[in-house]
Structure 1
Amino acid sequence: MYQLLSDLSIIEVSSFVASPTAGLYCAQMGAEVIRVDHTAGGLDYDRYMLTKEGRSLSWENLNRAKKSVALDLRSDEGRELCVELAAKTGQCITNLPEKSFLSHAAMAAKRDDMISVRIMGWHDGRQAMDFTVNAASGYPLMTGPEEWDPETAPPISQPLPAWDFITGAYSAFSLMTALHHRTATGHGSEMRVPLGDVAIGTMANSGTLAEMLYRGSDRQRLGNAIWGAFGRDFQSKDGKRFMVAALTPKQWTGLVEAFIVAEPIAALEKELGVDFNAGDRPRFENRHRLFDIFQAAAEAEDYAELSRRMAAHGCTFEHYRSHYEAAQDPDLVANNPLFGPSPANPSGFEYPATRSFANLPEHEVGDPAPAPYLGQHSEEVLADRLGLSSGAIAKLVDAGTVARSDKNANYEYR
């Protein structure tokens, strides 16, 4: 937690991954992010995996350092309160449809310099989610063993919702852009960020779209090999599987020295009439012959000795870990300043929590903050933001329009 955005307040009305991620990144830089949900929780409030008490670990981690307001968003009064909160605050992140009660027009009618960042499915209004967008992008048909038949092999969808997280980051960037524009001009902005455009646009920015059109066909599957460069997984004598990559002359030379394969590499260069120090192309085009040499060297030694030499020669490598192994790895977690002590999580489960991904040496970084209980800040925010009296808030609570904290609620297996 940094406090660089401590003068910024944001209303977030969202669910699932992309939209909460945008708010999370702002909160980790010090912004006051007020998440507004329906009184029973948003669509993601009980997203798997749940603790035995029924608390979602996904929701808990995507909503750290935020405040929570719970309103009856199915009622006219609850919806009007939500729009009023957004307008009073001046900036809103949401993934509700534009034609919902929280349209930009509805918020801008109350504040002409309103900023809204809306995460959509596709640019034309069709619904989408990470896993369906990924199917459209072509990447699942590029993934898999090299020997698979391209005509009959199944797609392989990645388990990480990468497009959601990229979209969340781009949405936070879009919000900062709109804020800068408003400071300069006094004008608000409606920002729409389609998840599908983030995926297809990223494909284009990477050069892949141009490559496909230029070659007039799909790229072949490469297994775990790196496209256009030297890199792949290898297995050591003691069964450790690890990944290496060489995209620079220094990285290539380091691998040759660490694996002690200079002689067979020189012999292969002579046989093929190539210079593997000349760049990525000769290494990639002759990758299978090179892989055979490196795998023969790898399986002759234990990983501990190979990794020692690779580290000594400045190689780029890492051994494969399971998620569970990564969560317990001291280098990745326990000794990593990214993580701080466990805050008082709503789940009651203690575990390391992340600070901001950015490391700012000149600024003090605080400990990770907990996620809120649903409705924990309803009364505080309605009083401070809308100026409602305690009596008025009590009437809204009694009417079911506003909900207080669900800290003591029983949510087991909802």
Structure 2
Amino acid sequence: MYNLLSDLSIIEVSSFVASPTAGLYCAQLGAEVIRIDHKAGGLDYDRYMLTEEGRSLSWENLNRAKKSVALDLRSGEGRELCVELAAKTGQCITNLPEKSFLSHAAMKAAQAALGPEGAPDMTSVRIMGWHDGRQAMDFTVNAASGYPLMTGPEDWDMQTAPPVNQVLPAWDFITGAYCAFALMAALRHRDAGGQGSEVRVPLGDVAIGTVANSGMMAEMLFRGADRQRLGNAIWGAFGRDFRSKDGVRFMVAALTAKQWDGLVKAFGLEVPIGQLEVEVGVTFADGDDPRFKHRHRLFDLFQRVAGSHDYAALESLMSAHGCTFEKYRTAHEAANDPVLVADNPLFGPSPANPSGFEYPAARSFANFPAQEAGDPAPAPYLGQHSEEVLAERLGLSSGAIGKLVDAGTVALSDANRN
């Protein structure tokens, strides 16, 4: 937790991954992020995996350092309170449809009712599916991107072999990060001229736009065909997974002259590679092109050495020669790895999680050496801050809030739901 955005408050009305991620990144840098959910929990409140007490570990980690307000978002009064909170705050992140009760126009209209001094001009960031209004989620836009049909063993046929989906919802996380950036850009624009913005970020555009930014779209059009499957090899450069004598799989990459030279020396392949260079008429130190074109011959040489050494010996040699490598871990092994987690300053002590389960929690990915990062903050209980936020933001008295609670329009903390 840093306090760089301590003067910024954001209303978040969202579910699943992309939208909560945008709010999370803002909260980790000090913004007050107030998440508003339906009083029984949003669509992602019980998202797998659940603890024995029924608490979602996914929800808990995507909502750290936020405040929680629980309203009856199926009722007119609950929706009005939600819109009013967004309007008075002036900043909103959501993935609700534009034609929902929380449209940008509705928030602007609520601001107009507040008068000229009511709030900063409305700035909203809305995550959509596709640019034309079609619904989408990470795994469907990934299917459209082309990547799953490039994933898999090299001998799989492009037309008949099945696609391989990535397990990580990468487009969701990229979209969430981009939305946090877009919000900061919109707020900077408002600070300069006083005018708010409506920002729409289609998940599908993030995916196909990333395909374009990576150069892959231009490559497909240039070559007039699909790229072949490469297994675990790196496209256009030297890199692949290898297996040691004791069965450890590890990945190496050599994209620079220094990386290539270190890898050749670590594996003791100067002579065999020199002989191969004479045979095929290239110099592998010249760059990616010759190494990629002759990758299969090179892979055979490196695997021969890898298969005759235990991983500990290979690791020592590669470290000594400054190679770029890493062994494959299961997700469980990664979670228990001291270098990745226990000894990594990214992680702090376990806060008082709603689940009651103690485990390392991530701080902001960005590190500001001159500032104290602070310990990770817990996620809220659903509705934990309903009374506080309604009193501070809307000026409601305890009696008025009590009536809303009695009517079922507002819900308080569900800390004791079990």
User: What's the RMSD between the two structures over aligned residues?
Assistant: 0.5
Equivalence for 2:317: 309
Give the counterpart letter for 1:244 in structure 2.
V
- Structure 1 Cα separation of the partners of residues 316 and 325 of structure 2: 11
Equivalence for 2:209: 201
- Structure 2 Cα separation of the partners of residues 111 and 232 of structure 1: 56
Q: How far did 1:109 drift?
A: 1.4
Cα deviation code 1:312-355 (max 9, x no counterpart) = 11110000000000000000000000000000000000000000
Given the alignment of the two structures, is residue 273 of structure 1 paired with residue 281 of structure 2, yes or no?
yes
Equivalence for 2:42: 42
Give the counterpart letter for 1:218 in structure 2.
D
Given the alignment of the two structures, is residue 127 of structure 1 paired with residue 138 of structure 2, yes or no?
no
Q: How far did 1:149 drift?
A: 1.8
2:247 corresponds, among 220, 234, 239, to 239
2:306 corresponds, among 291, 298, 306, to 298
Q: Quick check: 142-151 or 242-251, which moved more?
A: 142-151
Cα deviation code 1:60-94 (max 9, x no counterpart) = 00000000000000000000000000000000000
- Structure 2 Cα separation of the partners of residues 231 and 21 of structure 1: 32
- Structure 2 Cα separation of the partners of residues 22 and 407 of structure 1: 25
Equivalence for 2:76: 76
Cα deviation code 1:135-191 (max 9, x no counterpart) = 000000000000112221000000000000000000000000000000001001000
Give the counterpart letter for 1:97 in structure 2.
P
Cα deviation code 1:193-249 (max 9, x no counterpart) = 000000000000000000000000000000000000000000011111000000000
- Alignment identity in percent? 81
1:187 corresponds, among 166, 170, 195, to 195
- Structure 2 Cα separation of the partners of residues 281 and 139 of structure 1: 22
Give the counterpart letter for 1:53 in structure 2.
E
- List alignment gaps of at least 5 residues for structure 1: none
- Structure 2 Cα separation of the partners of residues 25 and 314 of structure 1: 33
- Structure 2 Cα separation of the partners of residues 159 and 297 of structure 1: 32
Q: How far did 1:304 drift?
A: 0.5
Q: How many residues align?
A: 410
- Structure 2 Cα separation of the partners of residues 402 and 151 of structure 1: 54
- Structure 2 Cα separation of the partners of residues 190 and 152 of structure 1: 44
Q: How far did 1:108 drift?
A: 1.0
- List alignment gaps of at least 5 residues for structure 2: 113-120
Equivalence for 2:257: 249
- Structure 1 Cα separation of the partners of residues 241 and 316 of structure 2: 17
Equivalence for 1:85: 85
- Structure 1 Cα separation of the partners of residues 275 and 91 of structure 2: 64
* Aligned pairs for 1:117-156 within 5 A: 117-156=125-164
Q: Secondary structure at the match of 1:111?
A: helix
TM-score (norm. length: structure 1): 0.99
Contact 2:150 2:158 in 1 (8 A): no
Give the counterpart letter for 1:87 in structure 2.
A
Give the counterpart letter for 1:107 in structure 2.
M
Q: Secondary structure at the match of 1:344?
A: coil
Equivalence for 1:167: 175
TM-score (norm. length: structure 2): 0.98
- Aligned structure 1 segments of 4 or more residues deviating by more than 3 angstroms: none
Give the counterpart letter for 2:94 in structure 1.
T
Give the counterpart letter for 2:246 in structure 1.
D
Q: How far did 1:110 drift?
A: 2.5
Equivalence for 1:100: 100
